Amino acid sequence: MRVRGRKATLGDFSAAVTGVILALSLPATVPWWVAMIAGFVAISIGKITFGSLGQNLFNPAMVGRAFVMISFSKFLGAPAYRIAEAGGILSQATPLSAARDAAADLPALMPMFLGTVNGSLGETSALACLVGGLYLCLRRTASWEVPASVLAAVVVLAGLTQGLAGPEAMAALPALRLTVLQHLTGGALMFGAFYIATDPVTNPITFKGKVIFGIGIGFFVWLLRSFSSYPEGLMFAVLLMNALVPLINRWTVPEPVGGPVPERT
């Protein structure tokens, strides 16, 4: 902020919120210096470069996580979750990594729902994400249209996949084996739908725009989970749809009551 010649705005706690969301999106074993780099990139490039609070195009926490995900993949990829020497910490792969790697047995639904599986700090318990997310929606801190659209899109696409994909397709792309409930309770879908996708700064401003935004995130989550080399697609899905928000806002401008304003001659 000093480089930009403006007063620092730490008092609004927006940077702290970004830090919490970023921390919850990282594995518990990530080195402290990787987390620090992610935080620096999230604030300096993801937020301040665009003009600080309320002006950023992309979700800052996801900008920071994407940077370290690509730059330090050893610490954030699937191997980062396989912890053999740390006593008391789960040592299996994440549910989505197991699906991608064609593991014989996927985790049962109840462990994924309650959070007794491996994964990033904020994504393991679908129950906790759901309870907190519903609270945010009821308090109108988050727009319910976005998470509802994200989850609905994943439910529809995952359901169609289960109905249409045959054994040969599932053998070629093991992630297609994931059922609707496994998509919902596994990975960062619940966490992202309620706490990341609902960032008001990077959301469309109209009801129709929020629905389109949420459906787009759900589509890309399903697409990346099913066909890409990444087991999780939430981060890239959010960033892709963030880039489309200005266009979505232009598409969904509501018509004024009484029709368009006549042009002056």
The residue ranges of every structural domain in the chain are: 1-76, 103-247
Looking at residue 104, what is its pLDDT?
58
Nearest to 212 by CA among 253, 174, 171: 253
Alpha helices by DSSP H, listed for the chain, are 14-24, 32-44, 60-71, 73-76, 95-100, 109-114, 126-138, 145-164, 167-172, 180-185, 189-191, 207-227, 234-251
Report mean pLDDT in 10-residue bins for the chain, 265 residues.
76 88 90 94 88 83 93 72 49 69 73 84 90 94 94 93 81 80 89 93 92 96 87 91 94 75 66
Looking at residue 90, what is its pLDDT?
45
Looking at residue 52, what is its pLDDT?
72
For residue 106, the tally of other CB atoms under 10 A from its CB is 17
Looking at residue 23, what is its pLDDT?
94
Looking at residue 261, what is its pLDDT?
64
Looking at residue 8, what is its pLDDT?
74
Looking at residue 193, what is its pLDDT?
95
Q: Are 34 and 76 in contact, with CB atoms under 8 Å apart?
A: yes
Q: What is the rounded distance in angstroms from the CA atom of residue 201 to the CA atom of residue 118? A: 31
For residue 259, the tally of other CB atoms under 10 A from its CB is 7
Contacts of 49 (CB under 8 A, 6+ apart): none
3-state per-residue secondary structure call for 10-75: HHHCHHHHHHHHHHHCCCCCCCHHHHHHHHHHHHHCCCHHHCCCCCCCCCHHHHHHHHHHHHCHHH
